[in-house]
Every structure is written in structure tokens, then in C-alpha cells.
Amino acid sequence: MWKSRRLLTIVLAAAVGGIIALALLPYFLAFVVAPNTIRDWADRAVQSERPFIAHWLLRPLANAGDPIAQNNLAVLIYRQARSADELRVAEQLLHGAAANGLPRAKLNLVTVQYGRCRFNTSNNARASLMLRDLAGEGDMVAASQLLDCLYFIEARQKIADVTETLTAVADDILAAGSPDLLLKAGRTILDFARTTRQPSTDQERADYDRAVAPLIEKSKQLLFAAAGRGRPEAYEWIGAISQEFSGYLGNDAMSVAIRARTHSQWVGTAAAVGDWNTVCRMAEDSLSRIRSRPKTSAEQYNSAVDEAHDCLDRRPPRSVRRFDKIYLAYQPRTLKEPVPPPTWHAVKRLLEEVRFIKSLNP
């Protein structure tokens, strides 16, 4: 009997000793291993979907005041937070990292304090003011989030100098030159011009013109820059400027080029340089015309079928979600597989219908 008790005591002591050793091991590692190495180990743990190991590794560094570890640990806590207490812990860590001069922590702190830019327009407006300052310091992730916050008309109305804010962030984005962000900013600013309240008096007309003119100027610059950096869908938005705001264009070369083409011609330009969405929309239009007029020439039929195949057979490069080492509390949704444009399925259905009609009317 005493032997079994002794054995149980030994097992329990070993278990307790193992737990204590496991708890103290990361603190020992923090003294004997370089912080960069420990953070790399934590990155690998997150990448392999074992965030609890990253927590275990980062905690001693965060307690010692390492700002990168504080930021990374705060983001991991925030992503899995289930209570207000956990959110407060994340916020405290980010305050520490921001106080130690880490720019990424300042951006994450905005997200933790105000949440993602959604339907709470009051929070969106408050977050926008902080994001504007970070964007002015060169943080393009903050600039992207600012555009998300200003998507909502109600949020824009709560910011006194919203036009100046948008034009200032547009200059920052133009200087950075990211194709995706150029396109996003160009579309957002053009949408802002579109949704600006239409005037009903001469004074309102003057105010409207003062607000819209700089927005159109920045939008065209952003969209042309995006098109020049490999985003052909920007041409369709340039066509929208030609159709809706040609009166606000000047006499510079860019404005003259916009006015020289109609909206449909700009859409054709987007399709000609390979924009998948535009290619499918043009194919849908061609097939719809043939379906409504079965007695078409062989040349028109073959042309429409070729356009349809150009839409249906496209397979853009697979977009694999990459592990993001900068640890953002706000992570845009990414897709593992490219999604066909909305008209893709309509083109497929129309092609089958047109082929059936053609078989009845050879």
C-alpha cells in the first residue's frame, strides 16, 4: 500500500515539476535566446495554427517591455477575445507598444478601441480622425482603413473637413504607389463625389462645385495611376468620370483623354487590356443581343461565342492567403481561390441558350 502511495507521490511531484518547468521555460529562453529568434518561433506557431504556443513564447518578452512582442501578443489576444477583460488586456499591451514608439501598435489600438469600420458611424468618424494622422505619417494600411471608414455617408457627415481629408490621403496613396490601394482610393473618392447631395439653390451649387471638383481631380489621378500599374478595371471607373463629371474636368492632358471617349468606350478599353469582369459583361451583352435576334450573321454569332469563351475560360493566378508577419488587428478578408465575376454564370447560361437557338435556326 505504502509503495503505491509513494509511487503516486512521485508521479504527482514529477507532474507539478514539469508544469512549473514548462511555465518557466519561456522566461529562461527570453534570457538566453535573442528576441528576434523567439518572435520567429512565435510566427511559425501562428502560421501552423498553434497560437497558444505563440502566446506562451511572447508573454515573457511582452512583460519585459519588448514593443513588437507586446503588439503581436495583443493582436493574438484580440482575435480570440471572448470578454471585455481580454480586450482590456490587449488594449493595455498596445498602449505599452505605442508608448515605446511602435507605429503598428498605434494602428491596432484604433481598431481595438473603435472596432472595424462598419455601421457604427460615430465610431467610424472618431477612428477616421486618428487614422488620418497615421496615414499622414506614411502608414498605408491606416490609409486603407480610413477609406473603409469613410465609405459610409453618415460617417463622412460627422467630419468637418472630409474633402480635405480625402484629398490629403489621396496624395499619400499616390506617393506610395500601391496598385490595389490606388484603385480602392480612386473608386472611394469617386463614390463620395457621386453621393454628395445635389444642390437646389445657387449657394448650394457653389458649395457643391467646391466640394466635387477636387474629388474628381484626385479620383482621375488615382485611377490612371492604378491602370498604369496593372489594374485594368480602373478604366471603367474612368469612364464613369467621363459620363457623369466631364464638366468638372480641366484642359490638362488627362482630362482631355477622359473626355475623348464615352463610358462604353472606356469599358471596352478595360476589356481589351484584360479585365475579367468587363470581359464577362461585354460577353453577356453580346449574347443577350443574339438571343433576342436569332437571325444574326455567322460572324456576329462567332464573335459573341469567342467573347463568351474568353470570359469562361479565364483562370487568373491562384491567390493563396499568406501569413502576415506585421500582426494587424484588422485583417481584410482574403480568398484562397479567385472568384469569377458576378456575370460569369449568366454568360455560361446565355451561351447554352444561344447555342440551342442556333441549332434550331442554323
Residue 107 lies in a domain: no
Q: Is residue 178 included in any domain, yes or no?
A: yes
What's the structural domain count of the chain? 3
Does residue 170 share a domain with residue 35?
Answer: no
Does residue 135 sit in the same domain as residue 175?
yes
User: Across residues 215-219, what is the average pLDDT?
Assistant: 94
Could you give the CA distance from residue 138 to residue 172 in angstroms, rounded to a whole number?
A: 7
Global pTM reads 0.76
* Type of residue numbered 289: R
Taking residues 177-199, what's their average pLDDT? 90
In this structure, are 33 and 119 located in the same domain? no
Q: Do residues 133 and 231 share a domain?
A: yes
Q: Is residue 128 part of a domain?
A: yes
220 contacts: CB under 8 Å, gap ≥ 6: 186, 238, 241, 249, 254, 255, 258
Which residue in 194, 184, 281, 286 sits closest to 244, CA to CA? Answer: 194
Domain annotation covers residue 327: no
Same domain assignment for residues 238 and 297: no
% the chain with pLDDT above 90: 19
Asked if 171 and 84 sit in the same domain, the reply is no
The domain boundary, picked from 102, 123, 149, lies at 102
CA angle at 321 for the pair 316 and 324, rounded to the nearest 5°: 135
- The pLDDT confidence band at residue 285, using thresholds 50, 70 and 90, is confident
Residue 283 sits in the same domain as residue 346: yes
Asked which of 258, 284, 301 is the last residue of a domain, the reply is 258
Domain around 242: 115-196+207-258
Q: What is the pLDDT of residues 42-83, one digit of tens each?
A: 788 877 778 888 877 888 888 888 888 899 889 888 888 778
> In this structure, are 37 and 72 located in the same domain?
yes
Does residue 16 belong to any structural domain of this protein? no
